[in-house]
Amino acid sequence: MTRHQTISLPDGTTIISATCVDCNQAKQFTVPSASYDAWANGAHIQDAMPEVPEGERELLISGICGTCFDALFADDDEDDEQDHGPQTLADVGMCEEDFR
């Protein structure tokens, strides 16, 4: 499902329009057509469009703008800093042999 629209211009650029599915803020930006085509044909977006800010790339990938993405996952950063109990087999007194 495409969450964005494009217009290819004769000057070799592509205008991309996308709207965040969370806050409904519309964004429009211009990239080289070769960059957009590379991403559309399977290149990783950060490799194909390094000139596009992370938040706008996220909007193209997930349909969520960078601001909303950061807000949605803000608690994850806090969770990473907390102790979640045992993290390895050794922490719970087990070893790989216990699973054989």
pLDDT at 30 over 80: yes
Phi first, then psi: give them for residue 87, nearest 5 degrees: -115, -15
Concatenate the DSSP letters of all residues of 47-72 into one string: HH-TTS-HHHHHHHHHS--HHHHHHH
Contact by Cβ (8 Å): 3, 9 = no
Distance CA 26, CA 28 (A): 7
pTM of the model: 0.69
pLDDT tens digits for 84-98?
Answer: 555 565 655 655 565
The residues spanned by each domain of the chain are 4-82
Contact by Cβ (8 Å): 45, 61 = yes
Contact by Cβ (8 Å): 31, 51 = yes
